[in-house]
Amino acid sequence: MPRESLIIAIDLLPIRPIRNVISHVADITTEKCRSIVRKEMQGSKADVVLCDGAPNIGASYDKDSYEQNEIVLLSLRCATEHLIKGGTFCTKVYRSADYNSLMWVLNQLFKSVSAVKVR
C-alpha cells in the first residue's frame, strides 16, 4: 500500500506492531468493533476490505463452514459500510452447502466476483 494509506487491522489477539498500521484487539462480530472502525475511518472510505478471519476449527466441517460464513457476512457488512464505489472486498470462503448462496449475495453487491481455490 502507498505509505500514506490508512491501514486498520482488527484481530481477536494482539497484532505485533507494523509500521503505519493501526491495530485493535476486537471481535468483528460486535458493534463495539464496528464503532472502532467508524472512529478510525473518520468518514473516509476504504479502497480495500480484507477479511482473513476464520473460526476455531473443530470436529464438524458443517459447523466450521457455518461459522466461517457468519464471519464472511459480518465482514461484508463492514465492507458495504466502508468501501468506496468500485472498492475491493477479499475474504476466505469455505466450500459448503451454503457456498452458492453466499456467492449469489456477493454477486449482488459487486460488479466482479472471483473464487480462487488455494491449498
Q: How far apart are CA 43 and CA 28, in angstroms?
A: 19
The label of the residue with cell 484487539 reads 25
59-77 pLDDT, tens digit per residue, is: 788 888 888 899 999 999 9
pLDDT tier at 51, thresholds 50, 70, 90: very high
Residue type, 102: L
Contacts of residue 8, Cβ cutoff 8 Å, sequence gap at least 6: 21, 22, 23, 24, 37, 40, 41
User: What domains sit in the chain, N to C, each tagged with a CATH number?
Assistant: 7-109 (3.40.50.150)
Q: Are 76 and 91 in contact (CB under 8 A)?
A: yes
pLDDT tier at 90, thresholds 50, 70, 90: very high
Please give the positions annotated as active site. Answer: 92
Contacts of residue 17, Cβ cutoff 8 Å, sequence gap at least 6: 23
The label of the residue with cell 458443517 reads 62
Query: Rounded to two decimals, what is the model's pTM?
Result: 0.84
Q: How far apart are CA 89 and CA 50, in angstroms?
A: 6
Residue 78: C-alpha distances to residues 33, 74, 115 (Å):
10, 7, 20
